[in-house]
Structures are given as C-alpha cells and as structure tokens.
Structure 1
Amino acid sequence: MEELLGQDSSRGKRKVPPMLQKLLHNDVQLTKKFVEFGLRTTWLRSLRNHAQLFDVSCHGIVWLAGWLTFIWLFNNKELYQLQVNMLIALILDIIVIAVMKAAVRRRRPVPMNKLTDIGPDKFSFPSGHASRSTMIAFILMTEYFNDYFFLYPPFLAWVGAVCLSKVLAERHYLLDVLAGISLGLQEAIFMHLIWFSQSTCAGIVASLSDEKIDGGEYHV
C-alpha cells in the first residue's frame, strides 16, 4: 500500500487516514492517466523529452549560485532591492521545501518509462520546482516587471512547462505539483509583505561585500 500511495516505508509503516488514502490513490491513478495521455500528445511528449532542461532551469542550487553570481557581477544600486529580496526568497523556498519533504516523506512515482534520474532527492511532496518557478515568476512580475505586461506570458509559460515536465517525466504526482504551485504563491505573497527597502538592501549588500555603498544604511 505504501508503494501504491507513494509513501516512504523505510522507517516503518505509517497509518494513513482513509480520506487521505483515497486522495493519494486517486492522485496516483490520475497522474498515471495524464502521463499516458502525454505520451500520445506531441507537445506534451516534447515537454517530457526536454524535462532535464526544464529541471536545470529551475534547480535550487543553480538559481542560488546563479543569483549570488548576479549580485557579485552587477554591482548596481538600482538592482540591490531585487537582488537581496530574491536571494532571501530563494533561501526561504529551499528551507520550506526541505522541511516539508522531510515531514511528509512521500516517495517519488515509480516510472512507467524510466528516464535518467535527476538528483538524489527521493521525496516528491511538494514539488520544489513548482514552488520555486511560481515564486520567482510572480515576484518578478509583481515587483520588477509589473509594467511590462508583454513579459507575463513567457513567465507563465515557463512555470507551466516546468510543472508539467516534472509530472510527465514521472518525477512528481499531480498533487505534488499543485501543492508546489500553491506554496510558491504563498511565498511570493509573504515576500511582498516583508519586501525590504532599497536602503536596507544596500546595507545588506555592503555588509556582504565589506564595502561602503551609496544609499546603504551603513554608508558614511
């Protein structure tokens, strides 16, 4: 039963409430049908074939390392607010996903047509790629590119491609991805509520780089 529902039995059997058991069972069946449908549909099959590319495009380590490099290379006070707040958001997402996966311990799907495994992470709920892509897209759309509406479709298309490819590649169940999207939206809203000011961000960058930056709280 644990394998059918995607539950981790490595630490002993876990008693699953009947309602949750039924939900997980339906999730497994719907995911299987969706993957089978995707294999018969050209554009969905293309997403599956490029799953590794979409995986890298939203990988936590790639984004964290890339964003730190972005901060280091582009030392521009106009970018400090976005750079610092997004860095905090990325760290927040990584921590939240790690804690939730460790708590839930839902095993990844057993692939019908196994592709190359991506990474050592064996837990699937919630989808970190779904939460991260959703969070990043909505932060950029609402906080930085809010006046550039023509950029919204590409952002949303990227989020959709990342989320669908994770299911089609049989790395996640549909429920994992839906939970990830919901979590990403909540993280974006949380960051909007605590959004650090330009001067605070300049001060943080100054403390990290050990330099005095115009406009920062530590500038003298």
Structure 2
Amino acid sequence: MTEPNKSRPPGWLRSILNLDEEVTKKFVVWGNGLSPLHSLRLHYKALEITCHGIPWLAFWLSLNWLFNCPDLIPLQINILCALILDIVVVGLVKAFFRRRRPIGNKNDAFVQIGPDNYSFPSGHTSRAAMIAYIFMFVWPASIIFYPPMLAWVVGLAMSRVLMERHYLLDVGGGILLGILEGIVMNMLWLGDDTAKAIYNQFADEKIEGGEYHV
C-alpha cells in the first residue's frame, strides 16, 4: 500500500517559512559572532527557566498559599488564570501547526513535553509578553519596573533564537500571542470579590472581604 501524502503547507506559506529559516540562520551566526552576546550564552539557560510554564505555575501557586495578603489575592488569582490560559493556548497552537524546531536545537531544554517539542509559537516569549502587558496595562506596576521588564522580554526572545530553540517568526508570533492574551485577560479580569471567593474555595481560612467571609 502506498503511504498517504502528508499534508504540506501551501506554497506561499512554505516560502515564508523558508525565508524565516534563512534569516534566522543568518541572525544566529551574526549574534553568536558578537563578543558581548557570545559571552552571555551561559545565561541563556537561566533566562529559559525564568519563563518556563512549570516554574511559573509552581511559584504562583506557592505564592497564593504562602502569602495570605487580601490586597494581593485578586492579582494572584488572575495571574494564575492568565498562566493557565497561556499554557492551554500555546499548547493548542503548537499542536495545530506542528512546526519542527531548528536543526541546531540541542535536546537539553528544561522539561519539554508534548506540544513543547514543536516550535511555533514560542511559549516562553508569549508568557513573558503577557506578563509584561499585565503589569504595564492591566495591573500597572511602578514605571521604574518597565525598563527591566521590557529588557527581560527582549532578552528572552533573543536568547530563544540564539540558542536555536526557535525561529524569528516563532518568537514574533509568541510576543503577538502574549499581547493578545493580555488583552483577553484585561477583558476577563476577575473582580476582587470573585477572586477572593475563588481563593476561599481552596484556602483553609476565610479571608476578610471575601464574598463568603462570615
């Protein structure tokens, strides 16, 4: 029996992907050839961990239970919802497109399972962009944190390409997806009473100001 033909992207999309691969390869050669960037290669793995979904979920879940501060609970619950949203959306998009990672990618990523094996979009950059968007436009932090947040997003995006984890189009798509997720979270942002009510469903103690506090 003849093996059925695998679905292939249309010609125009294949041309875009080929161009993306070519430009990415040139960018990697250029970037890794620069002394300042080359000296930072040891830090790329650390950047990778700073926006991995599992550490973020573990950290934020721990934060919810270790620091019982009523004023921060709405933020904690909403960020937790945002992280879950990002993981689900990125997983679905990766599973749909199934783009292979660059050939130069080393099999040393921190906890890579299921759809994580695919390249488009970059979940790390989508998560970073979403978090930065939330702390800049939804729950604005002090403006002094904007430069380091933006530097984190840009540095993370560049490191994903220079490590050959992703193509340029992957990180660009990840940033765009993260911004869209931030906009969605802004529209779906849970109010204080709702967030505290959700927290009360899992906390051992009722918190002051919660809908079910007695």
With normalisation by structure 1, the TM-score equals 0.89
The one-character-per-residue Cα deviations of 1:76-96 (angstroms, maximum 9, x if unpaired) are 000011100000000000000
Partner of 1:6: none
Identify which of 123, 128, 153 aligns with 2:123.
128
Q: What amino acid is aligned across from residue 124 of structure 2 in structure 1?
A: H
Matched residues, percent identical?
49
Q: Give, in angstroms, the shift of residue 42 of structure 1.
A: 2.2
SS class of match (1:50): helix
Identify which of 17, 20, 37 aligns with 1:44.
37
Partner of 1:143: 138
Partner of 1:69: 62
Q: What amino acid is aligned across from residue 163 of structure 1 in structure 2?
A: A
Q: Does 1:91 align with 2:53?
A: no
Find the aligned partners of 1:76 and 1:29 in 2 and give their Cα distance.
50
Identify which of 148, 157, 182 aligns with 1:154.
148
Find the aligned partners of 1:110 and 1:176 in 2 and give their Cα distance.
14
Partner of 1:176: 170
Q: Structure 1's 75 and 12: CA in aligned 2 closer, same or farther, altered over 3 A? A: farther
Q: Structure 1's 144 and 104: CA in aligned 2 closer, same or farther, altered over 3 A? A: same
The one-character-per-residue Cα deviations of 1:74-119 (angstroms, maximum 9, x if unpaired) are 10000011100000000000000110111110000000xx645204
The one-character-per-residue Cα deviations of 1:11-67 (angstroms, maximum 9, x if unpaired) are 962222111010000000000000000111123223433211001000000000010
Partner of 2:198: 204
Q: Structure 1's 173 and 12: CA in aligned 2 closer, same or farther, altered over 3 A? A: farther
Q: What amino acid is aligned across from residue 7 of structure 2 in structure 1?
A: R
With normalisation by structure 2, the TM-score equals 0.92
Q: What's the C-alpha RMSD, in Å, of the aligned pairs?
A: 1.5
